[in-house]
Amino acid sequence: MDGIKQIFGKELARIFRDKKMIFSTFILPVVLMVGLMTLVGNLAQGMMKDLEDHEPVVYMMDAPASFTSFLEMSEITYKEKVITDEAQLKKAKAEIKSGKADLIVEFPVDFEKAVADYQVGDNLPQVKTYYNPSEEYSGVAYDQISNQALEGYRQALLADRVGDVSTLTVFTVNSDNDEAIIQDEEKASGKAAGMMLPYFITLLLFAGAMSIGTDMVAGEKERGTMASLLVSPLKRSSIALGKVFALMVISGISALIYVVTMVFFMPNFTGAAGGDMGSAIKLSLSPGQIGMLVALMITLSFLYASLIVFVSVFAKSVKEASSYVMPAYILILVLGMMTMFTTKAPGMESFMIPVYNNTLAIQGVLSSTITMPQFLLTLGETIVIGAVFQFLIVKAFNSEKLMSA
Amino acid sequence: MIEIKDLTKIYKLNKRQMAEAKTKDPYKRAVDGLSLTAKEGEIYGLLGPNGAGKTTTLRCIATLIKPTQGEIYVNGHEVQKESEKVRDSIGFLTSDIKLDEQFDVNYMFDFFGRVHKMSKSEIENRKAVLFPYFGIDEFASKRIKELSTGMKQKAAIAVSLVHDPDIIIFDEPTNGLDIITARGVTDYLRKLRDEGKLIIMSTHIMSEAQKLCDRIGMIINGKKIAEGTLAELLAVTGAKDLEDAFFEYYKQAEEVEA
């Protein structure tokens, strides 16, 4: 036990006695993440504002006076250009394609008369609009004028024709029902958080342990410092366990910093991006839920640390170890991502798949849907697999071929 | 006391190693039936060219690698069965083994002291003996990566001796050191010998072995070809110094091989 403590202390000291290591391990990744997400949020916000501020260039062909006055009454601002013949229409279409103009609205000749003289069985007059979905400005103009304004205009003409448009509506859905949504707010916010947080927690636990873990074993072998431990009276199992436990703590701290940062900053990022996700991530956890989350994170850290140390034992250098660990990282990335797109409640068999079960379990704890057998199965299986890796690590540490190469 | 009985170490070569060694034999006998005994109060030198099997022998004693055949006893403890007890009673130094450069000398010394279950005061007492002797005090709080080669070697020697071991195993201890530092190291080995410690070291520097070692074992191709005091080796070969004696034995070994 004392040997484990000594190695554990040394490995932690290696990080925490060095300001540069603290910065590069815990602070820099978070600063980069916050910086990057803030930048993305600001850029998205800037783009939205730019789209809102843009005055679309709209070509009108044979537009009736009632439509232009309808547009003037609405709050839509646009730069109108009038075209009168096919040659001008062709030129306008070329401008739409090149992005110089945003929308063409082509009415049939004598549109108002055709609407007024309509008899049952007549062909309906058709308004044609042309836009370029590849251009953001054009897409917005299409949505505002073709979808919204023309629909409003159609409703107005319909009201003129039938007198009371509500006679055609038959019924409405939730027009004055403010209580349509019935849900447990706690569960709802947990579900929103549960979409992403479990994925990020499982991924970040691994990512936080990856570079430090490979350096702890393969790096020590490469630098020749592992041999100094191997000729000391420490048991090989103590060296291995000390390293795994230290790695667990480091990856746990790293993941915790990430998660706390995400929970605090996510509303700002998503708010800046114009989404409504920010308001959804409001975590309110009971002590029981916190306890379950901590237990899951500790056992998962143990599994990850054991896996990374095990893989690193086979490498002679950090570079080699990183290439060995990468497939495991990709697998964890995919397994974690799978939980983001599940709709059915997971069955007991889903909690038997390593790593995937932890992401599901964290998701279940956050949304208060996990059962105790599911939680215990996840916890137990993770500990057993971690222990198997631990056994293999000790075997590997005793291998002359692996350790004295 | 170190007692080696019929030590053989065979390595299995991979294809790349076989190609490099220009051999079709996938097995290499690094040490071949070596037996020797080294006692307290003596400096035993393993002498031989590169690849003779000196380092492999020392690594087997230090429990870093396992003998393919034979037995090694260190203070009565068999190296494979009681490896932790063996490691606790030896101080091992080789150029392959390095101290973690991220730490300062003080931390490494304290760490290995704690690993040997020494109390804080015991560690400080050893520091008071070793640091002034090797002039480590002036750079003890510097990170090892900031030190010169000589300083690193001094730090490594001090750390390997933190627990005041009865048996000191040094593989080419003066390798890469300047003449003054090398002299300091050899003087300290003599001091330890005079205190009753057993020192077993490897070297290919004949003059060093001649001046320092009480007994010498000559190894070629993993086999011990001669053993004795300097006077005994010179008397048998009629050589004027150790270098000449070594070449005399080397020539005889080559003739036997042929």
pLDDT tens, position by position, A319-350: 999 999 999 999 988 888 887 777 677 888 88
Q: How confident is the model at residue A266 (pLDDT cuts 50, 70, 90)?
A: low
Instruction: Average the pLDDT over each of A190-199, A371-380, B194-203 and give the range with the smallest value.
Output: A190-199
Does residue A402 surpass a pLDDT of 90?
A: no
Other CB atoms within a 10 A radius of the CB of residue A329 amount to 16
Quick one: pLDDT at residue A279? 46
Quick one: pLDDT at residue A274? 47
Tell me which residues of chain A have a C-beta less than 8 Å from any C-beta of chain B. Answer: 2-3, 6, 10, 13-14, 17-18, 21, 220, 223-225, 227-228, 230-235, 400, 404
| ipTM rounded to 2 decimals | 0.87
Q: What's the rounded mean pLDDT across residues A179-196?
A: 69
d(CA A299, CA B205): 54
B174: three-class secondary structure by DSSP: coil
pLDDT tens, position by position, B175-226: 777 888 888 889 999 999 999 999 999 988 888 899 899 999 999 989 999 9
**Who wins on pLDDT, B122 or A277?**
B122
d(CA A404, CA B97): 11
A282: three-class secondary structure by DSSP: coil
Pair A363, A198: CB distance under 8 Å: yes
Say which residues have a Cβ less than 8 Å from residue B236's Cβ, sequence separation at least 6. Answer: B226, B228, B245
d(CA B14, CA A290): 53
**Who wins on pLDDT, A28 or A373?**
A373
* CA-based nearest residue to A220, from A6, A16, A7: A7
Q: Which residues of B touch A404 (CB under 8 A)?
A: 59, 64-65
Q: How confident is the model at residue A275 (pLDDT cuts 50, 70, 90)?
A: very low
Does residue A152 surpass a pLDDT of 70?
A: yes
- Asked if B100 and A400 come within 8 Å (Cβ–Cβ), the reply is no
Give 3-state DSSP helix, strand, coil % of chain B, rounded to 5.
45, 25, 30
d(CA A189, CA A160): 47
Give me the helix-helix angle, B105-115 and B120-134, nearest 10°.
Answer: 130
Quick one: pLDDT at residue A284? 66
Minimal Cα–Cα distance from A299 to chain B, Å?
28
Quick one: pLDDT at residue A92? 94
Number of CB pairs, chain A paired with chain B, less than 8 A apart:
67
Pair A127, A150: CB distance under 8 Å: yes
Domain coordinates of chain A in residue numbers?
A: 2-35+185-403, 50-166
Does residue A364 surpass a pLDDT of 90?
A: no
Element (H, E) at B77: strand B77-78
Quick one: pLDDT at residue B67? 93
pLDDT tens, position by position, B20-75: 878 888 888 899 999 999 999 999 999 988 888 999 999 999 998 999 999 999 99
* CA-based nearest residue to B115, from A3, A243, A8: A3
Quick one: pLDDT at residue A45? 87
Q: Which fold has domain A50-166?
A: D-Maltodextrin-Binding Protein; domain 2 (3.40.190)
d(CA B134, CA B105): 12
pLDDT tens, position by position, A5-25: 999 999 999 999 888 888 888
Does residue A73 surpass a pLDDT of 90?
A: no
d(CA B66, CA B51): 18
Q: How confident is the model at residue A309 (pLDDT cuts 50, 70, 90)?
A: very high
Minimal Cα–Cα distance from A300 to chain B, Å?
29
Q: What end-to-end distance do the CA atoms of chain B give, in Å?
A: 36
Quick one: pLDDT at residue A392? 94
* CA-based nearest residue to A48, from A179, A151, A137: A137
Other CB atoms within a 10 A radius of the CB of residue A179 amount to 6
**Who wins on pLDDT, A338 or B240?**
B240
Quick one: pLDDT at residue B130? 93
Q: Which residues of A touch B84 (CB under 8 A)?
A: 233-235
Other CB atoms within a 10 A radius of the CB of residue A178 amount to 6
Nearest to A224 among B84, B96, B114 (CB): B96
Does residue A180 surpass a pLDDT of 90?
A: no
Q: Which residues of B touch A2 (CB under 8 A)?
A: 117
pLDDT tens, position by position, B146-158: 998 888 888 999 9
**Who wins on pLDDT, A33 or A141?**
A141
pLDDT tens, position by position, B101-130: 989 999 999 999 999 999 999 999 999 999
d(CA A216, CA A209): 10
Does residue A104 surpass a pLDDT of 50?
A: yes
